[in-house]
Amino acid sequence: MEETKYTLYTAEGYQQLIDELAYLKEVRVPEIKVQLAEARSHGDLSENSEYDEARDAQAKCYARISEVEDLIAHAKIIDESSLRDDVINIGSKIKVYDETFDEEVEYTMVGSNEVNALLNLITDQSPMGQAMLGAKAGDTVKYTAPCGEVTLKILEVSREKKN
């Protein structure tokens, strides 16, 4: 029997999926239908680039809807209230001193589909995330990156309090 594979999400990350699905179904699909109707009204569809563009947008939209529905179906939301605030896990805010690059950096540990390097949202499945998972303030962790071995000193671990 095949085991169902789940992807971990913070409550916030899961809500973003729900919001995206609602937007696609309630806003984007009707917009595309209007674009298709308008393009059809221009006559011959064989040489109608507006119609082709609207059909492409429709296909992409329905593909994304299917993808988001699948992500939601296989999502597992982390109960952050059951996690310790001082141990790194999904949802943790982490301040580190990167000994390799001599800099302080702040990260947030998120599920793999919530990753955003520009916002320093890292996943527990990345080499850095795996090295930090379970660590506490004061610990030193090492992981291998494309540039070589990186050493991080964990300075602070916290969890955003939700009301």
Question: Is 37 in the same domain as 86?
Answer: no
State pLDDT tens for residues 98-153.
Answer: 988 899 999 999 887 888 889 999 988 899 999 999 999 999 999 998 888 999 99
Question: Is 58 in the same domain as 88?
Answer: no
- At 92, which CATH number? 3.10.50.30
Q: Taking the CA atoms of 81, 83, 87 and 90 in sequence, report the sign of the dihedral they define.
A: negative
- pTM strictly above 0.85: no
pLDDT of residue 22: 97
Question: Is 31 in the same domain as 55?
Answer: yes
- Rounded Cα gap, residues 119 and 79, in angstroms: 23
Question: Is 86 in the same domain as 155?
Answer: yes
Boundary residue ending a domain (77, 109, 129):
77
Question: Is 72 in the same domain as 121?
Answer: no
Q: Taking the CA atoms of 151, 154, 7 and 24 in sequence, report the sign of the dihedral they define.
A: negative
The residue type at 97: Y
Does position 163 have pLDDT exceeding 60, yes or no? Answer: no
Percentage of the chain exceeding pLDDT 70: 93
Question: Is 67 in the same domain as 90?
Answer: no
